[in-house]
Amino acid sequence: MFHFLRRRRCGRKLYPTTIAKLEAMIDLKLLRENPDLVRESQRTRGEDPALVDQLLEADRQRREAISAADQARAEQKAFSKAMGQKMAAASDEEKAQLREEGKQKAQAVKDLEATQSAAEQALHDLQMQISNVVEGAPAGGEEDFVVLEHVGEPTTFDFEPKDHLELGESLGLIDMKRGTKVSGSRFYFLTGDGALLQLGMMQLAARKATEKGFQLMIPPVLVRPEVMGGTGFLGAHADEVYRLEEDDLYLVGTSEVALAGYHSDEIIDLDEPKRYAGWSSCFRREAGSYGKDTRGIIRVHQFDKLEMFVYCRPEQATEIHQELLQLEKDMLAAIDVPYRVIDTAGGDLGSSAARKFDTEAWVPTQNTYRELTSTSNCTTFQARRLQTRYRDADGKTQVAATLNGTLATTRWLVAILENHQQADGSVVVPEALRPFVGKDVLTPKS
């Protein structure tokens, strides 16, 4: 978690202070002024609204502790100043009394600072349990999404279609057996044209992103705890994350994490939004998913992904969210698969997103839509935790907003193979990927 207990000098005395850090982790002003909004957000997510009242009480106790500690320090300072003048004319007995009173006041300061630190820790612990405030998402859980749009008709065939793994193996694209032999279940090799198909998809996504002003990045895949926690991935879903205990580092499940940490503890120029596109391998433990999607590469422990990430002013976030969604739709059009767009329900947002749109491609052999991309508006939630700020027109520092969206990932191969298969077991390569793959059609290996 965060190492947020820092120390600063006040005269010659060192004492703990976390006020600025705590204020930055959640918008306490919003919480105080509109607690009903936060309670309703908790209900929309299916989370406990009583946390709001607990947090308000913790905030009150912390402010009282700060006031008491400040008053005690002021009294100690005034007494020390007066004591210096009194000691010159005091008797030995009076000097002893003055010294004893000075010790008592110093101890009182120490005790009240300990109370303040405990109150700040209690506030911190509650803050970490409150998810971002939902903005417009429907209430409910995983199945309570709202379909916003269908693009294309579900693919049908006049033959029995093969699933992506059968196609991948017969075409020499995927080797699950050796992936399992080398690394365990849910690992795989992409081989030959399978590797070229993924690289082509990623390069196409990178090209589309850079054409729209995104700076291409290849970020680290190992990050510090404060970065992983700051992005909201060490809460309810912490068991999804791989941790290297000896090094106290985490493997990222998305380059969103590293890109969110890129400007942590900085004041950045946001006259124009900062747009980044991170290309990285990603890692997920898939805890609790045993028995689900165990066949093929739908739900695996390692995959590649190109993730868009934007820093902007909060008032720009809603518009940019739509821009990211449109870029995802443009990329899906390039690989020519039918898909739908859904408005994800509050209980399925994850802690950092205020609103999230998923695009789901049609998977013929499953006769359903499966998620390929998502784009989230995280408002100021991540930047508050990571202390990423900008200066407004008056020169005052404000908290930035962050957004993310997937532009390509390994799972896309599932939709490409299944939707573009032919009766003879071959697969037509989408036209946009042919320059990268070097073939129009992938044919079965003998």
| 374 has catalytic annotation | yes
Instruction: Give the separation between CA 336 and CA 359, rounded to whole angstroms.
Output: 14
Categorise residue 315: left if φ over 0, alpha if ψ from -120 to 50, beta otherwise: alpha
Q: Is residue 301 a known part of a binding site?
A: yes
Q: Is residue 256 a known part of a binding site?
A: yes
Active-site residue identified among 43, 224, 243, 299 = 299
3-state secondary structure of 12: coil
Residue 239 burial (C-beta neighbours within 10 Å; 0-12, 13-18, 19+): exposed
For residue 73, what are the contacts with CB-CB under 8 A and spacing of at least 6? 10, 13, 15, 109
Interhelix angle 317-335/193-211, nearest 10 degrees: 140
Q: Which amino acid is at 309?
A: F
Active-site residue identified among 47, 63, 371, 391 = 371
| 211 has catalytic annotation | no
Residue 82 burial (C-beta neighbours within 10 Å; 0-12, 13-18, 19+): exposed
Q: Is residue 178 a known part of a binding site?
A: no
| 8 has catalytic annotation | no
Active-site residue identified among 131, 280, 351, 374 = 374
3-state secondary structure of 72: helix
β-strand pairing of 274-283 with 215-217? parallel
Q: Is residue 307 a known part of a binding site?
A: yes
Q: Which amino acid is at 254?
A: T
Q: Is residue 254 a known part of a binding site?
A: yes
Q: Which amino acid is at 137?
A: A
Active-site residue identified among 284, 340, 385, 389 = 284
Residue 60, both tokens: 């009150």
β-strand pairing of 266-268 with 302-312? unpaired
Q: Is residue 97 a known part of a binding site?
A: no
Q: Is residue 372 a known part of a binding site?
A: yes
Q: Which amino acid is at 69?
A: A
Active-site residue identified among 62, 186, 384, 411 = 411
Q: Is residue 302 a known part of a binding site?
A: yes
Q: Is residue 142 a known part of a binding site?
A: no
Q: Is residue 131 a known part of a binding site?
A: no
- The total of other beta-carbon atoms located within 10 Å of residue 330's CB is 12
Q: How many residues does the chain have?
A: 446
Residue 425, both tokens: 């077991």
Measuring CA to CA, how many Å separate 264 from each of 31, 330, 331, 385?
24, 31, 30, 9
| 411 has catalytic annotation | yes
In the chain, helix, strand, coil percent, each to 5? 45, 20, 35
Q: Is residue 135 a known part of a binding site?
A: no
Measuring CA to CA, how many Å separate 359 from each of 310, 320, 329, 373, 416?
19, 17, 8, 5, 15
Question: Which residue ranges make up the annotated binding site?
Answer: 254-256, 284-286, 300-303, 307, 371-374, 404, 406
Instruction: Give the residue numbers annotated as catalytic, written as ranges.
Output: 284, 299, 371, 374, 411
Question: Which residue ranges make up the annotated binding site for L-serine?
Answer: 254-256, 284, 307, 404, 406
Question: Which residue ranges make up the annotated binding site for ATP?
Answer: 284-286, 300-303, 371-374
